[in-house]
Structure 1
């Protein structure tokens, strides 16, 4: 039976323990025969981190085998492309691999996505995009994805919400200039331009997540008060327009008295009994 090497809950769950579907073939393979997967979800590899990993491999070797599938004479990487790149840098001739049976291109993509989003060095937007791909490409619910990758449904939902941020704020998250906590706080602001401006303030002033949450709460409260004042102002204009119409029709001063929206009273002035009778004829 094949041994598993810390594949993670999601990836490990997709590779059966006692199965003839898995090549009983774990061992060293020529690095020349190992090829990257063209559908690898991660497109960018940090050269500095690859160099660091290369130095570690020189000293300690590759502790965790690559996950691959056989394609003719070659072995296509499902999980572990960064280890492969680092191994090439330090000129290893052979590296350890686990070979699994490839059921379909779709399964390979799923394995690659799950392996990638379980990595600790991914930024929150990369993780969110990985979740989004798994949900859309494999018609998974948030609960099903939670079971696959060992993350809570709430955590998955909160991470996916980061994709609703202004694209420039997402870039700050990708570059790890601000944290996921900052991003979640900014989601309370509907105005994306304001999200961006506040993200710049976070960076310039070195605001903590707690500071940002307090600031957003204050701004949101101020915005609600402004909305109420604007609504009150609009209603006053509305009443003023109606009083003008009535004054022209009745030929006297008319005033609307309203303490709250949708109800109030109308005051119509008259200056004599004759004037009152004139108004009554108009209104009757």
Structure 2
């Protein structure tokens, strides 16, 4: 039976700390992605070299290194990657995201089983904080109930989202360029999908790990980041929302802001790479399954 192919697009700017872990998680999957596109945007660190080294060390890997050099910024870099992708489904994550080992399989099946689905998203857990299972459950609850617009349409989350390629082709010239860099580009994409009455879906099995580093910023910086929600909806006055996810994020900010640096010191002292271990149980189960299939 034909499975919808999935491309994973990863915009990257100065992500040398986590890009290798991100590529490893994106390629260590129960179903292989068609391609993993790292779109480098004028990185001044070793990001591009690390990607080249990964490709050389893993012959046959679906990872490709692209360069978007015309313009600095996430949106043009994201757009370039999505335009270059060849899959039926276009995954889009951040360069510090860690995909669960069945992410590609879950996404492919999701769009196969629901031909009307044009965009999809799921919950995330902070891999550099304790309590993965609790984190997933909490995030799942918030995103299912609060992360919506208009008549309950789901908003996509940029760290863990996928689009049908045909949907992207429809909206690619319409999405906001946001030259002032004051909007949430993932919410903007969601609202443009809704403009066409495209269905966005939420899947609690579509899991990814993200860093809590956003919480390790000053309140002023965090506040400006939260203002992006309002700015995005202000740019789309035809859309509305009943609940505001930033209220939930404001509530947990003080706790995570206080605990994050403390936990990072523990990880460093224990020589633990949290990005490596977030899906270690699931990865071992996958390896065991593959070994059993080979032996049989």
TM superposition score normalised by structure 2: 0.22
TM superposition score normalised by structure 1: 0.23
Question: Higher relative contact order at CA 8 Å, sep ≥6: structure 1 or structure 2?
Answer: 2
Tell me which protein shows more helix as a share of its residues.
1
